[in-house]
Chain A
Amino acid sequence: MTGMAGAVAIDISKLVKRYGSTAAVDGLDLTIQQGEVFGLLGPNGAGKTTTLKIMTTLLRPTSGTVTVLGHDVVADADAVRRLIGYVPQERAVDRLLTAREHLELFADLYHLSPAVAAPRIQEALRLVDLADRVNDPVGKFSGGMKKRVEIACGLLHDPKILFLDEPTLGLDVQSRSQVWNHIRQLKQRGMTVVINSNYLEEADQLCDRLAIIDRGRLRALGSPRELKRGLGGDIVTVSLEKAVAQPQQLRQALQAVAGVREVSVDGTSARLALARETGLSAIVEQVRQAGGELQAVHYTHPTLEEVFIHYTGHKIREEAIQ
């Protein structure tokens, strides 16, 4: 099965959700394509969960519309529920039930016949690597394992779209990369995946496209690469073995290279801010002609962190208090 590239999975139009006088979502317009891993990236309180809960029929919008695969989430909620899987932000498991009992419960809630359910349960357990722990109460599982039980439950009915709200929140590094791998496998099977995150690294590594959200509003939209490019600030740093005799001349020569916006030369290094992507060979050639001995060249894109600050005016998270 492959996703139909270009076909719309979710359409969000003029979405508003108010709690009293505060607008958790404040006029959001978004289109999510089938087959993509789409991320809503924003700090705590940005309105990600609220948006996700509206898409999954758990909350009603104050105004605006959301359609999932053509079905309105309010008027046609039951049709939407059949097509989606949802993994909430909390560790939403029943600690008294075993992994198998969770899957059996959800098989019944999605009205699978026993004949269909049995192989699906095996398959889901295998996908999340829990096949050997099926009969243990989930209360004894680690955070990462609980999250994998939840993901397995969300996959049983073979949903077209899987929603994950901060899937790796509070997980250790290893469990986090395990969850990321599961999500990549799902994408390969053609599933559309929507995740909420406030981890820049997660958004960067996992998502085909991102919506940067802050205070209930869309601030930027695009692939991680596009967003970083969009800042237009690739930096090339040239390190020299020793300082050149005529730094001023080197500066002017580099400045003349097409696509270079700004150059500063300082002793044994030159820093070039680029206006657009530029080949390195012209830069290297100018250095050589100016009598410089090249030690190293670094080419850096702006990070997603810089993108985030650029569009929202602040960092995504306060630094963790140690």
Chain B
Amino acid sequence: MNPYWQETGALTRRWFRRLLRERMTLIFGLFQPMLWLLLFGSSFKNATNPLAFGTGNYFAFMTAGVVVMTVLNSGLAGGVDLIFDRETGFLDRLLASPIARSSIIVSRFLFVSALSALQILIILGTALLLHVVPATGLAGIGAILLVGVLLGVGLTALSLGLAFKISSHSGFFSLIGFITLPLIFISSALVSVETMPVWLKAVALLNPMTWTINAVRSLILHGWLWTQLVIVIGALIAFDIGCVTLSSRILRRAVG
């Protein structure tokens, strides 16, 4: 077997094994997004003006927001296991073995991507039960998965970088919490930016979450808006390259 895939495969299997053994994390990870869709969907459904969302079905509107929020959470948590590995000394054991340093990082990408994809499918499945059928069909679901994975990889890289930059895990969790809330609430996740006050709208439009959510939302509500989709995918690839470069620099300094 190719040694690179042997070691990367073994590391990736380890992340899945850990997840399967952490029953609570597993259950929350898979069903929380579903819950969000149901809760947010139900509580906003009657209280708001359908015109603000471009659709009468608030669940359909919310689906894109929940997809991107979920990837945001999973991606930003992508460095957590390595913080624990560093604290227990397990990371040193990994690094003392003759593996390519990148295989640890790549195994995280594979794990977070697979997890995010599974979460996205659960969300879309739940949405389907609420009569939300993506306008772009199966190919659209593929496109949503692609956008999700591209976002997840960049966020995981960012999280790994932070995990090595910040020495305590409580500091890491505080920072992640601090970043996540505004990224979600000052975005188009819950309401269309059109209904926001001007200043908030300006901030929301600077938030990359907004653009990603809008692209996914178009795939669900409207159909193929190619220009928007290509721009977002291009921007996400640039984001990934930026995050991976930055983080590998941090990692090389920390473990090299």
Contact = CB atoms under 8 A, between A and B. Distances in A.
Nearest to A97: B17
Most buried by A among B6, B22, B85, B93: B93
A238 B22 CA distance: 67
B43 interface: no
B17 A96 contact: yes
Contacts, number: 76
A56 B95 CA distance: 9
Interface string A74-112: 000010011010101111111011000100111011110
Q: Is the interface of B mostly helix, strand, loop or mixed?
A: helix
Contacts of A88: 89, 92-93
B55 to A, nearest CB: 43
Interface in A120-163: 137, 150, 153
Given A94-B14, A94-B85, A109-B98, 10 more contacts: A58-B95, A78-B98, A86-B92, A86-B96, A94-B88, A97-B17, A97-B18, A97-B21, A105-B10, A150-B93
Interface residues of B, number: 27
Nearest to B20: A96
Interface string B66-100: 00000000000000000001001110111111110
A57 interface: yes
Interface in B1-29: 1, 3, 6-7, 9-11, 13-14, 17-18, 21-22
Nearest to B18: A96
A153 B18 CA distance: 18
B90 A109 contact: no
A93 B14 contact: no
A110 B6 CA distance: 9
A206 to B, nearest CB: 22
Given A58-B95, A60-B256, A78-B98, A92 B90 contact: yes
B98 to A, nearest CB: 4
A53 interface: yes
A93 B98 contact: no
B98 A108 contact: no
Nearest to B8: A108
Contact of A110 (B85, B97, B255): B97
Interface string B125-138: 00000000000000
B94 A109 contact: yes
